[in-house]
Amino acid sequence: MNVKANVGATGAYSDAEILAMIDEKNGKYDPKIYVDEALYRLELERIFARTWICMGHESQIPKPGDFTTAYIGEDPVVVVRQKDASIRVFLNQCQHRGMRICRADSGNAKSFTCTYHGWAYNQGGDLVSVPMEKEAFGGCLNKAEWGPKQARVETYKGLIFANWDADAPPLDEYLGDVKFYMDIMLDRCEEGTEAIPGIQKWVIPCNWKFAAEQFASDAYHAGTTSHLSGIMAGVPEDVDITQVAPPTEGLNVHLENGHGCGLFLRNPMFYMTIVGPKVTEYLTTGPAYEEAVRRLGQGRADVNLCHTNVFPNLSFLAGINTVRMWQPRGPNEIEVWTFTLVDKTAPQEIKDEWRRHTSRTFSAGGVFEQDDGENWCDIQQVLRGHVAQNQKFNIEMGSHTVTADNPEGFPGLSFAYTYSEESARGVYRYWTQIMTAPDWDAIRRIEQRPLAAE
Amino acid sequence: MLDDTFKAAFESKPKAVSLELQHEVEQFLYWESKLLTDRRYKEWFGLLAEDLHYWMPIRSTKIMREVAQEYTDEQGFAHFDDNWYTMKGRIRKIMSDVGWSENPASRVRYLIGNVMVVPENENTINVVSASMVYRTRQERQLDVFACERRDVLRRVETEAGFEIVRRTILIDQSTILSNNLSFFF
C-alpha cells in the first residue's frame, strides 16, 4: 500500500503515511493535517470535489431566477432556481477565458452574461448567446458543448447539496444515519424550516477541520473553559457562573461517511443561555414540542442541542439552529458562512427571538463564537513552528467509554460519553481513508469499523 | 426600508444646526469612543438607553439594479441585533476574566468624522457619522473597519448630556475580514 498518493498534486505523502496520521488506538494524531499545502490540494480534489457539499437552503431562492453564489471547496458556483422549481448548480466560470459569470452574492436574474466578452447563459447555465457568433466563429461554435460544468444537485428537507462526482452515491445514501440527527433541526414540524434572510460571512485564519471537528465532536470546550463568558452573557447578573453546572447526560456519536455529532439529553441549560427562555419554552413544552414528539419520538424530542458536522464542511446546532458552511481558503484560512433556520410554523415572536439570539451568540460578534475564532487562529499560528508541527496531538478522550450501542437506541457506528472524542476520531480516520481512496469504488470499500469493535 | 426616519432626514442637505449643538454632539461621540478605547465599558454602557436597539445589518454584494437590497432588513439576520439587556450581557462578558476574545485585551481606536446633526425635536437628535475602527490585538493582528453610524440620541440630565437610543451600524465590508467582532462600534 506504499503508493504515492496523487503524485501530480502532492507527491509529498504516501498513502501509508496519510493513513498513519491518525492513531486511534493510542489516541494520537498528526497536526500536519492542518497546515500542509500538499494535503490541502489533495483535500480539494479528493474530498470537496467528490462529496456532497451544502449550498444553502431552498427558502433562500424561492422564485424562478433567484440565485445565490456559493462554493464547492474553492470552486465558485452559481445556485439558481429554475422555472420548473428545480435547482441548478454550475461552475461560476465562463469556458471561453475563465471569467466569473455571476458577480453578485445573490439576486434574481433572467440570464447571466460574462462581462469579459459577453457570452450569455440562461438561468440553467446553458450557453445561449455568443456575440458576433456568425462573423467571429464562422457558425461552427457548438454552444451546447461550452456551458460551464454542471454539478449534481439534490436536497434534503430544505438543504441544497451539490456534487461534482458522477460516481458518488445519491445524497440520501451519502448522508445515511446523520439524517436521523439532522431531522432534530429540520423535521420538528410538518412544514419544516425556513431560513432567516441573510448569510453572514467572515474570515478566520485557521484550517477548516478545526471547525468541522469541533461541531462533530467537541462538547468538551462548551462544558469547560471556552464559552464560560458566553454563558455569563446569557444568564441573569446575580447567577454565580461557577455554580452553573453544564449538562452531563448525552452522547458523542461516531457516524458513517465521516459525519459526526454529539448531543445533550433532557437538560435545556444550553438552550436557556443561548436562545433564551422563550425559544427554550417553545422547544421543550407546548404544541410545537408535542408535534416534535409525534414526528421524532420522545428520545429525539428531548435532545436539548445536537452539535453536528456533515462531512466535510456543513455544521449546525440543532435547537439553536445556526447552520454554517466552513469554506476552505488554503490550509490556513476559512470563510465562515452562516445563517439561521426557524420552524416555518413557529409564531413570529419565536422566530424573532431565535434570530436575535443566534446573532447574539453564534456569529462573528456572537458571545460564544467570538471565542472559537480566538482559539483556532492561535492554534494555527503556533503550527507555523517546525517543532510545533512535529508534535502529536492528544485525541484519546472517552476511549474507555466507547460502546457499539446506546440506551436511547439512536443510530451510529459507535457511541461514547457526552464529553468524549469518539466522533472526532471517526472524522479524522475517515479523512485519512477518503484522502487515500482513488475513486468512489474505493471510497465505498472503506472499512469504517470503529475502535469499539476491535 | 433601511430606517425611514433617517432616509427622510437626509433626503436633502440637512439645515445647519447651531455650532453649539454640533459641538455638543461631536464631543459626546468623542467621549463615547474614548470610553471604549480606554476600556471603560461600564461607563460606556451607562450611555445606552434602556430602550436601546443596537443593530448592524449584514451587507452583501448586489448588482446595481438590486443595490437597494444590499443590507438585510430588520427581519433579517444581522451582525448585531441587541437590546439593553443583551448589551448588558456583552459587557459582563468583555469585563470577565474568561472572555478570551478580549482577554488579552484588544487595542481599539475610533476616528469619528462626517458628523451631521438633524434634530427631530428638542430632546431627540438624529446623528449620522462615519467611523474608522482600528483594532490590533495579540502579536500582529490588525483589523480596520469603516462604517456609517446612524444614531438616535436623547437629551438626558447627566454629565454626558445624551443617551444612545438607537445605533444602526452600516459596515462597509460584506465578508467581515476578521476572526471576530468582539468589540463595540
Q: Is residue B176 part of a domain?
A: no
Summarize the confidence of residues B49-71 as an average pLDDT.
97
Residue B179 lies in a domain: no
Largest CA distance in chain A: 80
For residue A43, the model assigns a pLDDT of 98
What is the Cβ-side half-sphere exposure of residue A207, based on CA atoms within 13 angstroms?
24
**Torsion angle defined by CA atoms of residues A413, A419, A420 and A426, in that order, rounded to the nearest 10 degrees:** 50
Domain at A53-155: CATH architecture: 3-layer Sandwich (2.102)
With a threshold of 0.90, does the pTM exceed it? yes
**Which is the CATH superfamily of the domain at A177-448?**
Naphthalene 1,2-dioxygenase Alpha Subunit; Chain A, domain 1 (3.90.380.10)
Give me the residue from A199, A232, A365 closest to B80, CB to CB: A365
- Is the pLDDT confidence value at A170 over 70? yes
Q: How far does CA A51 lie from the centroid of its chain?
A: 12
Predicted pLDDT of residue A454: 56
Measured CA distances, B60 to A134, A199, A245, A370, B46 (Å)? 39, 9, 40, 21, 33
Question: Does pLDDT of A255 surpass 50?
Answer: yes
- In chain A, which segments carry CATH 3.90.380.10? 177-448
Decide if B46 is inside a domain: yes
B84 within domain boundaries: yes
Inform me whether the C-beta atom of residue A247 falls under 8 Å from chain B C-beta atoms.
no
Chain A positions touching B141 (Cβ under 8 A) are 377
**Mean pLDDT value across chain B:** 96
pLDDT at A11: 64
Count: domains in chain B: 1
Q: Is B25 a member of any domain?
A: yes
Helix, strand, coil percentages in chain B from 3-state DSSP, rounded to 5: 30, 40, 35
pLDDT reading at A1 higher than 60: no
- State the smallest CA–CA distance between residue B168 and chain A in angstroms: 15
Q: Which domain holds residue B28?
A: 17-171
Cross-chain residue pair A230–B175, CB shorter than 8 Å: no
Percent of chain B clearing pLDDT 90 (strictly above): 92
Measure CB to CB from residue B179 to each of A201, A204, A363 and give the nearest one: A204
Residue-by-residue DSSP string for B22-49: HHHHHHHHHHHHHHHHTT-HHHHHTTEE
Place of cell 438590486: B66
Q: Which three cell numbers stand for residue B25?
A: 454632539
CATH 2.102.10.10 positions along chain A are 53-155
What ipTM goes with this model?
0.96
Tell me, yes or no, if A357 is annotated catalytic. Answer: no
In chain A, residues with a C-beta closer than 8 Å to the C-beta of B89 are 232-234, 360, 367
pLDDT of res. B1 = 47
pLDDT at A5 over 50: no
What digits encode the pLDDT tens for the residues A113-122? 999 999 999 9
Tell me the β-bridge partners of A413: none
- CATH number of the domain bearing residue B38: 3.10.450.50
Cell of B154: 436623547
Look at residue B59 and tell me if it is in a domain.
Answer: yes
In a domain, B158, yes or no: yes
Whether B89 sits inside 8 A of A234 (CB atoms) is yes
Does A6 lie at the interface with B, CB-CB under 8 angstroms? no
